[in-house]
Every structure is written in structure tokens, then in C-alpha cells.
Amino acid sequence: MRVDLETDEVERPLLADSSERNYTTTASNAVNNGDATPPIGTFKRTLGAVDAFGIIISIVVGSGIFTSPGSIDTNVPSPGAALFVWFIGGSLAWMGASSMTELGTSIPGEGGIQPFLQYIFGDVFGFLAAWTWIIAVMPATLAILSIVFIDSIFLAVGALNQQGTIYHKLLSILVLVTISGANSISTKVSTKLSSFFVTTKFLTIIGVVLAGLVVAILHLSRTSWDGPSQDWYTKSWFDFRDTLTPEGSLIHWADVGGWEMMGHYSAALYGALWAYSGWDKAIYVTAELSAPASQLPLAINTGVPIVILCFIAANTAYYILLPWSVVSTTDSVAVSAITRLLGTAAGIIAAVLICLVVAGSLLGNSFVAGRMIVAATNQNWLPRFLGVIGQFGRAHSEQTHTQSVSSDAPINANILSTVLPIIYIVFGNFRALLTFNGLGEYSFFLLTVLGAIILRFREPERRRPYKPFLIVPIIFALVSGFVVIRGALFAPLQAVILISLWVIGVAYYQTWKRWNVWQSR
């Protein structure tokens, strides 16, 4: 299928079956799926490039830069290798963002990668993307952020290894519910809070980098030094060193074989990709941008490079501030670094700042999660009340009593996107959820970018306001393919759970589709 932006000429999508109709607009897709009623969730185009930039920064600069260094350092043989992983992860995120921007400025629709996959491969692929993000990726993301928020507080007051306790889980749930409530007030409130958190994020990262710079200068200017760490000065940044895992065992990198080494690097890359995750989220508000063809590329091509530089600088500071044996054993490396440098009181202040950073990331991800659900509802893939904007309950048009509120937020969708992460908080832990999140995201990022490559040859005349060199999506697809395959082999349990969710999703899709057809008759 093909929809030309100028002529609306239509062809059938690659891999779509004969029963599937063309992808045009949200409204027509609802009809195609057996529902003659147009979508009830419609957003206004009130956001600009600065807002999109703020959303990217707010989501990307979250818990990852303060927590992922531990999981990355555990899986690489040297600090230099860890910084290289951070660079590769950032470069991959930028290439993926560029490829997504090409699709986002040439294919109409809302819901992120869902309309792209639906257009290129057919309805079932679009549905599975939406299903995976709504059921797996975003709930896992919100659960991780909530866990890290509380973990930072516990660490600052000296309460270690509390993630499995009931108190930790209940407090994590409380934070999640509070942030979701803030996002349910209005879009204006969400974007204003986002702007505040963006400022907090940069100030926190600048503080970490300056602390590392000051310690390095003081160390180099003195003949003797009894500061927090001398490893950065006395040891090689690229030589193999034994790594202490959080479980207390040692990894002797000289004894690790090539295939096993690749597994460790893929696990490390997942940590970096988690830290950079969010580069795709501006795509989800394309329907709310006043001029997406110019604003989306500008936001991504300024936001992502700034984030890469900040992350590499912050990680360099961590290796200056902490003994290298400590970095691999903590999931709150920034709090550990500041506490060791300036004491418990400073560690508490650092924890508060990092909590604000994580809260900003929670806010941004929660903001997007609700819109994903609305987009899926507008495709008639979920019950219609989940797509209601500005109301709790069902729409007035459905002849059901509802209590109106002064809001343009998707309240029902926000409630669902709050309930699902609670399950992950109760049953999951930080590092397992990290790998699960990466597998879910990059499976569909790979498929989407492959679709962008296919579309270059299938529709060379398609209008593309933003078009990166073809080598960009090709490199992204190759690296993503390796990350997904090797990551699945390295973490088979998470892979099996994800595949099971896909099987359940296909069954749900077929059942829901038949139900809608039966109702329309």
C-alpha cells in the first residue's frame, strides 16, 4: 500500500493480507477495522520545536546517566571500553532518531513507530508495535524509573539493597501514581513541569562533571593525594582489569572467550541504550507539533548530540570520583560518588537532585505513554473509552454519564499506563527490566528502520522533508540486529516473556478484529 502525500494514491502494504485495507489517516483506519465512528482522541497542534526538544531532553536525560554506568562497567574489561560503549550507544541512538525522523516527516499519523510499520508492513505489524510499547516497553520503563527514584533516596540515607522490600515497592508505586496524576491535569502543566526538570537535569550533570574536573585538577596540582580515588591516575584506562560484580564475584577478562565477550558487550550496550532511550519519543507528539517537517529534525539533531556529550563527560567524572571497583557494584553511581567525595549530607542533596531528574524522566515517559494508548485506540485496537481526551470515563457521544474536567490530557489512558507498570514494580528488578526493555524496543526499532530502507526503493518519489544518507539506517539496522540476537541469547528468560507477549498480542488482535466485524454487522 502506498499513500502519496500529494495525490493520496493507494497501494497495498508489503506483507499485508488481502483483508487489510490501506493506511491513510487515523479515522479511515478506524473504519477499516470495522468501526464507522471517527476517533474521539484528537490533539491540538500546540507544540513547537522547543517543546519537542524539551520532551527529548526530559525523557533521555533521566535515570540512565546516573544508574546505567554500573551495569555497563560490570560487562566491559576497562573504563576506556565503557566510554566507548557510551559513544556507540549515543551514535546508534542518533542514527535511529534520524531514520525515525525521515518516517515521521513523510508518513502521517500518531503513535510513534506504529503508523510507520502499519503503512509499510500492514496492520498486524502496526498493532504489535503498539501492543509491545503499551504492554511491555513503557510499563517496564516507568517501573525502572520509579524503582530508581526510591533507590536513590534509600542509598543516600545508607539503606542498601532495599529493592526487594515491600516498602521500596510501595513507595515506587506512590511516586508513579503522583507523576501520572500531574500528567492528567493538562498538556500545558506537563510541558511547564518538563521545562523545569530539563533545567534541573543539566544543572545536576554539570555539577557531577565539575566535581570530577575539580578533583582531577587538585590531584594533578599536589605531590600527595588522599582524595576519593587514585585509580584514574595510577591505572590504565584501557588495560584489562578484574571486575567485581554486584553479586560479589570477579570476572577475569583475560579468561573470557570471544563469544562470551560479545555477550558481555551486548549487555553493556543495553545499559547504554537504556540511558539514551527516549530519542524516539518526539515522534509520538508529531501530531501535536505545529510544523513537524522542520521542528522534528531540529529538535532531534540538537537534542541527541548534546545528550551524548553530557553522558560521556559525566561518566568520565564518575571514573575520576570513584574507585573503579565501586562503579560496577552500584546502581546509583552518582549518589555514591558525591557521598564518597563530600559526605552523607552532600549525598542526600545529590539524591534529591537526581530524584528531580528521574521525576522529569518519569513525567516525560508518562506523558508519552498515555498518547500511545490514545493512538492505538484511534486505530480501534483498544476499547474506545481509552481514547477519550479531557474526561474520566466514557465520551458524551457514547450516551454514558461522565464527569467533565478542565483538561486536554488523556485521563483514561493515563490510568491504564499507571496500572500496568505497577505489575512490573511488584515482580521485577532494575537489571532484569533493563534487558527486557532493550529487547522490546530494539526488536521494533530494527523492523522500523528496515522498513525505512525498503520504502526508499519501493517509493523513491515519496516526499521526504528530512532524508539522511542511506548508510545511516543501514548501520543502525546492522548494529540493532546484533544487539537483539545476542541480547536474546544472553537473557533467554526475558526473550521468552517478550515472545509470549507477542503471541498473546496476535491472538488478541485477531479476536478483537472479529469482534468489531461482528458488531458492525
Please check the confidence at residue 297 and state whether its pLDDT lies above 60.
yes
Which amino acid appears at position 188 of this protein? K
The DSSP code for 43 is -
Please give the average per-residue pLDDT across 379-408, as a whole number.
63
The better pLDDT of the pair 438, 82 is held by: 82
User: Residue 508's pLDDT is what?
Assistant: 93
> For residue 319, is pLDDT > 70?
yes
Q: According to the model, what pLDDT value does residue 407 have?
A: 59
CB 41 within 8 A of CB 288: no
Does residue 158 register a pLDDT over 60? yes
Is residue 189 very low, low, confident or very high in pLDDT (cuts 50, 70, 90)?
low
pLDDT band for position 4 (cuts 50, 70, 90): very low
Residue 250's SS3 state is strand
Q: What is the mean pLDDT of residues 474-492?
A: 87
pLDDT at 505 over 90: yes
Q: Which residues contact 383 (CB under 8 A, 6 or more apart)?
A: 377
- Window from 19-33, 292-306, 373-387 with minimum mean pLDDT: 19-33
Please state, in angstroms and rounded to a whole number, the distance separating the CA atoms of residues 338 and 319. 12
At residue 380, the pLDDT reads: 83
> Taking all residues of the chain, what is their mean pLDDT, rounded to a whole number?
78
- Please state the rounded mean pLDDT for residues 130-156: 86
| Antiparallel, parallel or unpaired: β 250-251 and 391-392 | unpaired
Cα 301 from Cα 292, distance rounded (Å)? 14
| Virtual torsion, Cα 156, 314, 212, 196, nearest 10 deg | -60
Task: Give the tens place of pLDDT for each residue, 18-67.
Answer: 333 343 334 344 434 444 444 444 556 656 667 777 767 766 776 678 77
pLDDT at residue 281 in the model: 67
By mean pLDDT, which of 135-144, 166-175, 293-302, 308-317 is the weakest?
293-302
Mean pLDDT, to the nearest integer, of 404-418? 73
User: Alpha-carbon distance 282 to 299, whole Å?
Assistant: 8
Beta carbons of 464 and 106 less than 8 angstroms apart = yes
- DSSP characters for 120-189? HH-HHHHHHHHHHIIIIIHHHHHHHHHHHHHHHHHHHTT--S-TTSHHHHHHHHHHHHHHHHHHTT-HHH
Instruction: Check residue 46 and give its pLDDT.
Output: 56
Name residue 447's amino acid. L
The stretch 451-474 carries a mean pLDDT of 91
The C-alpha atoms of residue 457 and residue 450 are separated, in whole angstroms, by: 11
Q: Give the β-pairing of 250-251 and 243-244.
A: antiparallel
pLDDT of 193 over the 60 cut: yes
Q: What amino acid occupies position 329?
A: T
pLDDT confidence of residue 8: 37
Q: Which residues pair with 251 in a beta bridge?
A: 243
pLDDT at 470 (0 to 100): 92
Q: Does the model's pTM come out above 0.75?
A: no
| 100-116 confidence digits (pLDDT tens) | 888 878 887 665 688 88
Question: How far lies 189's CA from each of 119, 192, 459, in Å?
Answer: 33, 5, 41
Q: Tell which wins on pLDDT, 422 or 162.
A: 422
> Pick the residue with more confidence: 375 or 188?
375
Assess whether pLDDT exceeds 80 at residue 156. no
What CA–CA distances, in Å, run from 246 to 71, 143, 426, 443, 488? 9, 21, 21, 28, 22
DSSP-assigned letter for residue 78: S
3 state DSSP class of 45: coil
pLDDT for residue 471: 94
CB atoms within 10 A of CB 396: 13
Note whether 449 and 473 are within 8 A (CB). Answer: yes
Q: Buried b vs exposed e over 12-25: b needs ≥16 C-beta within 10 Å?
A: ebbebeeebbbbbb
Separation in Å, CA 325 to CA 33, 229, 230, 311, 322: 56, 10, 12, 20, 8
C-alpha cell, 180 = 501520572
Which pLDDT belongs to residue 17? Answer: 39
Looking at domain 46-512, which CATH architecture does it have?
Up-down Bundle (1.20)
C-alpha cell at 400: 454514558
Domain boundaries, the chain: 46-512
pLDDT band per the 50, 70, 90 thresholds, residue 192: low
- Using CA atoms, how far residue 39 sits from 177, 374, 452, in Å, is 27, 9, 27
